[in-house]
Amino acid sequence: MRTHIVSPAAPGRYPGIVFYSEIFQITAPIRRTAAFFAGHGYIVAMPEIYHEFEPAGTVYAYDQAGSDRGNALKTTKKLASYDADARAALDHLAARPDCTGKLGALGICIGGHLAFRAAMNPDVLGAACFYATDIHKGGLGEGMHDDSLERAKDIRGELLMIWGRQDPHIPLEGRMKVLARLNELGLRLNWHEVNGAHAFMRDEGPRYDPELAYSLYGIVLTFFHRKLSEGDLPAVAAARERPATRSFPAALRPRNVPLTATVDISPILSPSDLM
C-alpha cells in the first residue's frame, strides 16, 4: 500500500494523523492540505485508497472520467480491505521513532467516511470528517451495504463532523440520520454545518470557499491540538514520555520551529495487499 508521509522539518516526536483523500487519490489539493497539517506539528500519512486496483502513484483528474473511476472503485473494494488499510497505516505511525504514539484520523469526502471508520480503532483519539459521504445510506464498499452507523458504537475517541448544507451527496435527512445515531450512542461529538457545496474545502474548482476553508482548518487544528497534544497525557506519563519537540498551537509556536514539512513515500504492507 503506497502511503505518502508528510512530516515536520524540525527534529522531534509528533502525533500522527492518517489522512484520507477524496476518490481522486493523492491530488495536489490533498498534498497541500497534508503539508498544512504537517507544518503545524503532525506526521501525516496518506494511503492511496485504491492501491489494490491501480499502479502506485495513480491520481485521477477532477473531471467526469476521474469521478466515474473513483466512484466505481469505491463500491468494488471490500469493506474489510478499507479497515485493514486503516489498521496498517495506524500501526506504521505508532511504530515510527518520530511519532509520540498519539493518533488521529482526518478525511474528506469518501475520506471523511474512512476517517469515521478509522475511529473505530481504539487508539484513534480524535477523527475529523469533512462531508463524509455514504455514512447515512450505508453505501461504502462491495455490495454497497456498509455497517458504519452500526459500528459507530465502537468509537472511543472524539468526533468532529463538518458538513456543507448545500451538498447534494449528503442531504438534510441524511445528516440528521447520522446525528441521531451519534446522539443515541452518546459519543463525544462536535457537529458543524456551514453554507457550502460538496468539495468546498478543495482549493481547485468553482466550489472552493477559501473563507470557510480558513476558518474550518482552524477548528480542526484546535481539535487535534486538544486531542493529540502532550497535554492530554497524565502528568506522570507526560514527564516520562516528553518528546524532544512539542506540538504547539500556531500562535504559540517557538520561532525556531519551522512551519515546513518533509515528504516521503512509504510502502506499508496491508492485509488487503494479499487479498
Nearest to 51 by CA among 269, 217, 257, 260: 269
| Residues 31 and 57: beta-carbon distance below 8 Å | no
Q: How far apart are CA 27 and CA 173, in angstroms?
A: 31
Angstrom CA distances, 187 to 155, 179, 184, 210, stand at 8, 10, 8, 30
How many CB atoms neighbour CB 224 within 10 A? 25
DSSP 100-166: EEEEEEEEETHHHHHHHHHTTSTTEEEEEEES-TTTTTT--TTTT---HHHHGGG--SEEEEEEETT
Q: How far apart are CA 140 and CA 83, in angstroms?
A: 12
The arrangement of strands across the sheet holding 2-8 comes to 189-194, 158-164, 124-130, 99-108, 14-20, 43-47, 2-8, 261-267
Q: State the catalytic residue, choosing from 85, 109, 146, 225.
A: 109
How many CB atoms neighbour CB 115 within 10 A? 29
Concerning whether 198 is annotated as a catalytic residue, the answer is yes
Residue 255: φ, ψ to 5°: -65, -20
Q: How far apart are CA 84 and CA 65, in angstroms?
A: 28
Grid coordinates representing 118 are: 478509522
Distant-in-sequence, close-in-space partners of 28: CB < 8 Å, separation ≥ 6: 204
Q: State the catalytic residue, choosing from 113, 167, 209, 225.
A: 167
* H and E: helices and strands count for the chain: 8, 8
Q: State the catalytic residue, choosing from 146, 198, 209, 225.
A: 198
Q: List, by residue number, the catalytic residues.
A: 109, 167, 198
